[in-house]
Amino acid sequence: MKPLILTASLALAATPAAADDAFVEANVLTTLYHELGHAIIDVMQLPVFGQEEDGADVLSILLVDALYEEDSAISMAYDTAQGFLAEEERRASEGSDVAFWDVHGPDLQRYFNTVCLFYGANPDSRDDVAAELGLPAERADGCPDEFALAADSWGPVLDEMAALAAAGQGHAIGFGGGAGFDFAWLVADEVAALADEFHFPEPVTVFVDQCDEINAFYIPDERAIIICTEYVDYLTELGDALY
């Protein structure tokens, strides 16, 4: 299997944080990676076979595995998976129907997909992760192959973008603003770190802003990733409930 080329180990916030803060940080970052997936698909004009949202989820967990040292990667994978689980538990407690009509898969499916891919990236060392997060053996057996397919699919694209960065060509992802909002510093720092790793052929900018909705999204016409402050507030509520 061809390895991903992103080899830098990015660290989470160096200052001590409460468990719920770590939960919010992890989910903000993996959401950023998810929206980055949409941006890459758009700007690099990639074919999409299936749900684009699934492909973006896959990139998110690939980047967690590729960019972080093991302890940080495991913590992020746990918190990301717990985020999907918390959303499912909230849905169930409110008596809402599963939104099978939505472009995103059901939260429980996204939970198990996250656990499977993360486990499949390093099954020899992550048996405890799979067991603690309840990954069924029937799914676990195929997770290394699922990860290999995902890495082989996304790897050449990331290689191409890394080559642009190494050659000083293309455009580094930029941070367009959001100072003063909670966790905007985290997004700004992560964007700066990603800008050192790979470049786009066209400019892409990340913003933290008020949106009047709980969301994060990519706007193709503007090549802009928006992390909504309302979404960060929502994650804070989920984290408070969990911890």
**Closest to 143 in 3D by CA, of 182, 181, 114, 109:** 114
The answer to whether the CB of 182 falls within 8 A of the CB of 201 is no
The tokens describing 184, both together, are 């905007």
Is the full-model pTM beyond 0.95? no
Across 130-152, average pLDDT: 97
Residue 1 has pLDDT above 50, yes or no: no
Question: What pLDDT is recorded for position 18?
Answer: 62
* Rounded (5°) CA angle 193-199-200: 130
* Rounded (5°) CA angle 190-89-129: 60
Q: How does residue 182 score in pLDDT terms, banded at 50, 70 and 90? A: confident
The answer to whether the CB of 20 falls within 8 A of the CB of 240 is yes
* Rounded (5°) CA angle 236-114-43: 85
The answer to whether the CB of 56 falls within 8 A of the CB of 35 is yes
pLDDT by residue (tens digit) across 159-169?
999 999 999 99
**Closest to 36 in 3D by CA, of 56, 11, 54:** 56
Residue 5 has pLDDT above 60, yes or no: no
Residue 7 has pLDDT above 60, yes or no: no
Residue appearing with tokens 């603690």: 132
pLDDT by residue (tens digit) across 186-215?
999 999 999 999 999 999 999 999 999 999
Across 59-88, average pLDDT: 94
